[in-house]
Structure 1
Amino acid sequence: MLIRLLYASRAAQPVSQEVIEQILTQSRARNPALGITGILCHGGDIFMQVLEGGREAVNTLYKEIVCDERHRDVVILHYEEIAERRFAGWTMGQVNLSKTNPSLLLKYSEKPVLDPYRVSGKASMALLDELIATASIICRT
């Protein structure tokens, strides 16, 4: 059974491009063997990530993320059983919101910043869908 899990977290330390690259490299190396696909979205010290795959694999990975010292305030925003993946071709896509038009963020929240803690999981998924539709995905590897 396939599931989709969307979560948010705050960085425990200042986020640099090196930290992002480390997370993406680790994900892209590990996820194919686990059958996990997804997308990582970051803005400021906030991460929002979608994981798709088998229930056991995604739940196990999520538990590891919760225990990862790079993250704090980890919260599930959306969890659902799915018939098909949205991110089937991406071991881990990336969205850097510093390169996104702020009006797109404002469309889904009170302010033009990424703050999934203040919006519904449904709104966060809609934002990600629009980022995909507008080709705002930086890397789809």
Structure 2
Amino acid sequence: MLVRLLYASRQSDPSTSATESILSQSRSHNMASGITGILCYGGDIFLQALEGGRKQVSELYGVIQKDPRHKDVELLLYEEITERRFGGWTMGQVNVAKLNMSVLLKYSETPELNPYSVSGKVSLALLEELMATAAIIGRA
């Protein structure tokens, strides 16, 4: 059974380059586990979608909750799916600082990434638009 999990977190130490570390680790681990997804980051906030088998995604989310690079981990959406939306990426990435701010304003009150202030469905819609507009890089 396939599932999609969407969560938000904050970078524990914004002075470090946790994003590159997370991406590197995700890309090497996720392929073997059958997990695909996308990581969107801006400022110290991460928004990540994970797709794969229920057991694998749930186990990975448990690891993320304990990862010292993350804090304020919050589950935004968990659903059974019939097909992957982010199947082409072991972990695609979006740097919000390089986006046109109107994309963020379309889904939020302010031109900043803040998945804590919107629903999980809205955050997923943002990720889908980023995918449709080719704002995702790192198609590893």
Give the TM-score of the pair, scaled to structure 2. 0.97
Shift of 1:19: 2.3
**1-structure distance, mates of 2:32, 2:122:** 30
Which residue number in structure 2 is paired with residue 34 of structure 1? 33
Gaps spanning 5+ residues in structure 2: where? none
**2-structure distance, mates of 1:64, 1:55:** 14
Shift of 1:15: 5.1
Shift of 1:108: 0.4
- Secondary structure at the counterpart of residue 8 of structure 2: strand
**2-structure distance, mates of 1:21, 1:69:** 15
Give the TM-score of the pair, scaled to structure 1. 0.96
Kindly tell me the number of residue pairs found equivalent between the two proteins.
Answer: 140
- Residue pairs, 1:1-12, within 5 angstroms: 1-12=1-12
Contact kept, 8 Å, 2:11 with 2:18, in 1: the verdict is no
Contact kept, 8 Å, 1:15 with 1:45, in 2: the verdict is no
Which residue number in structure 2 is paired with residue 90 of structure 1? 89
Contact kept, 8 Å, 2:8 with 2:47, in 1: the verdict is yes
- Residue pairs, 1:122-133, within 5 angstroms: 122-133=121-132
What amino acid sits opposite 2:25 in the alignment?
A: Q
Q: CA RMSD in A?
A: 0.9
What amino acid sits opposite 2:88 in the alignment?
A: G
| Segments ≥4 residues shifted beyond 4 Å | none
What amino acid sits opposite 1:12 in the alignment?
A: S
Which residue number in structure 2 is paired with residue 73 of structure 1? 72
**2-structure distance, mates of 1:70, 1:19:** 6
CA-to-aligned-CA distance 1:37-91 (integer Å, 9 cap, x gap): 0000000000000000000000000000000011111011111000000111210
Which residue number in structure 2 is paired with residue 138 of structure 1? 137
